[in-house]
Amino acid sequence: MDVQQTPGPIDGLFFAQFHPKFGPQIQYKYPPDCISCDLFDKLTNFIIPKPDVLRQVVTITSLGVKVKGYPNKIEDSKYERNALLFNLCLVFKPEARTAPYRPLIHKLSDYLHSLETENGFLSDEESRKQLPLMMEQLYHDLNDTGRCVLKLKLRHPLHIAKELEQKALIEATAAEMGERRLSFSERRRWDSGPQGRGRVGVVGGVRPGGGGCGIGSVGSGGPASGETCGGRGCAMDRDTHQPEEIAVLYLKVVDACEAPVPVGEEQVPVLVKPDISEDQHLLDLTTQQILPYIDGVDHVAKIACLANVELDLAKKCVQNLVYYEIVQLLPIFQYSNVYVHNTEEMMQLYWSSVLQQKCLEYVVGDAAGEPLLFDQVFRLYAKFTRGRTVRQICYCELQLGVSFPPPPPSGVTAHTKPKLPPNVDIRRLVKFGLMHGIIRRIQQYPLYTPHFNKKHKRDRRSESQTSSSQSLRRFCDGTASYDLLCSKFCMTNKELHNRLAQDKEISILWK
């Protein structure tokens, strides 16, 4: 587990590219001291790596820094070595937690890849000048707010098409004039000469001096004055003096969330946000169907049956509600359950007046009856220990089943006042304790351990005596609790216990 609980922060960014003559180089970096040239040279094999490592997130932790990047490659014959290799990297401290930056660095690298293939962003010197400003904005925005909106100016596609066609025109002219390239001065004289002087029409291209596509032969000058190519929708017939395009990219550091907890069919969902019913129209249809049956008493299997929903689908819906902290999962309440109190949470309850008030308001049995004192509630929680069921606590502490004498008639003073039990709802007392970690459930897990004699053969007599529990043995592996088996076989806790007690090869584990 990483030392830091929050992502980052970013110490710097740098853009590295493979130069066709000098090899890997840092083109831009921010801040200027985020990484030294010597350190870059030592890590260069991982920043601009071999083809096997390309197009995947690479994290380097060495020499006092942590570098995270996504090396990318664009193959095209227009590049000097038929490929462009680049990598935009983030620099962190070695102990920084960088997992949330994985999708961001992946998205950013693919974004630059698309800009280059569609618009030549990295190849064009004017466009590349925006990279330092972009890196500075990324550094400050991601560290301050964890999100960033990048806006980059791109050349208009018609301008790019015009440049490509002019390049093709120059190459064709050079080939006609003796297979040589024109110098810059010759090119200017060629373009600024008289109309039609030495003009070359390019099949499928554009006549530089006219407004249509030149389909004439060499020296023809394209269509005559006043004529058009007649091509409907010709790109170069449109207005090329349009504003530059703006490319927008939204980035956000999304911290990785924990995987949703698995939901068992024997667990009881309890609503912790009752106001969710007001926004019920925002939920999916299946969740809307099972939500009215979540009452904090019925378990998931019974809720699925009442709502007429498949069990697996109901479990997924409850799992989604648990993930967004709308419900909380508790074990089934039974008077035969055993709970134990947690010392640390008991101390927190003892010292927190806010938690005490919440507890008293939640667990009181009759609001119009005897006032409930915190000492009574705290003493009840302390009685939850191993080997003591809820039924025993009720009989001993709440004095259930004990009749109290009626109050004396008016005018007669009683010599002794009977001690009344606390005005508490035991079910809500257990529920509040489980929800706040004050108590926890001790479950029973049956474990099937077959007995062998000296010749490693089963005792047939024992097997015949336990025939009634043969169907349960395949579930008795020490991982299925009593609650789960009761739900699967539709039995009460007492029926299951009596049935398992008949099998001498099944032991009961408490944990």
Q: Where do the domains of the chain lie?
A: 12-145, 158-224, 268-330, 338-403+418-441, 443-510
For 324-383, the pLDDT digits (tens) are 888 999 999 999 999 999 999 999 999 999 999 999 999 998 877 788 899 999 999 999
% of the chain at pLDDT higher than 70: 73
pLDDT band at 163 (very low <50, low <70, confident <90, very high): low
Residue 252's pLDDT is what? 85
What pLDDT does residue 361 have? 92
pLDDT of residue 204: 36
Mean pLDDT, to the nearest integer, of 302-319?
93
Q: Which pLDDT does position 328 carry in this prediction? A: 93
User: What whole-number percentage of the chain has pLDDT above 90?
Assistant: 24
Sign of CA dihedral 273, 279, 284, 285: positive
pTM of the complete model? 0.53
Cα of first residue to Cα of last residue in the chain, in angstroms, is 28
How high is the pLDDT of residue 443? Answer: 92
Q: Which one has a higher pLDDT value, 151 or 401?
A: 151
pLDDT tens-place string over residues 238-284: 444 445 677 888 888 877 667 788 999 999 999 988 777 777 777 88
Is residue 226 predicted with pLDDT exceeding 50?
A: no
Of 163 and 277, the structure prediction assigns the larger pLDDT to 277
- The pLDDT assigned to 452 comes to 60
pLDDT, position 430: 94
Rounded-to-integer distance, Cα 276 and Cα 290, Å: 13
Is 166 exposed, middle or buried, given 0-12, 13-18 or 19+ CB atoms closer than 10 A?
Answer: middle
Most confident of 90-104, 185-199, 467-481: 90-104
Lowest-pLDDT range, 109-118, 202-211, 236-245, 294-303? 202-211
pLDDT at 199: 38
Q: Give one DSSP letter per residue of 371-402, joined into a string.
A: PPPHHHHHHHHHT--TT-BHHHHHHHHS-TT-
pLDDT for 270: 93
475 or 182, greater pLDDT? 475
What does the pLDDT read at residue 327? 92
Which one has a higher pLDDT value, 444 or 192? Answer: 444
Nearest to 336 by CA among 442, 484, 478: 442
Q: Can you give the pLDDT at residue 420?
A: 59
Nearest to 59 by CA among 115, 2, 19, 112: 2
Tell me the C-alpha distance between 142 and 452, whole Å. Answer: 66
Query: Given this model, what pLDDT does residue 356 score?
Result: 93
Read off the pLDDT of residues 418-466 as tens digits, 9 standing for 90 and up.
Answer: 455 788 899 999 999 999 999 999 999 999 888 765 444 445 444 444 4
**pLDDT range class, residue 128, cuts 50, 70, 90:** confident
Q: What is the pLDDT of residues 14-51, one digit of tens each?
A: 998 888 888 888 888 888 888 888 888 888 888 888 88
- Mean of pLDDT over the chain: 77
List the one residue out of 76, 72, 37, 75 whose CA is nearest residue 57: 72
Predicted confidence (pLDDT) per residue in 46-72, tens digit: 888 888 888 888 888 888 889 999 998
Summarize the confidence of residues 401-423 as an average pLDDT.
54
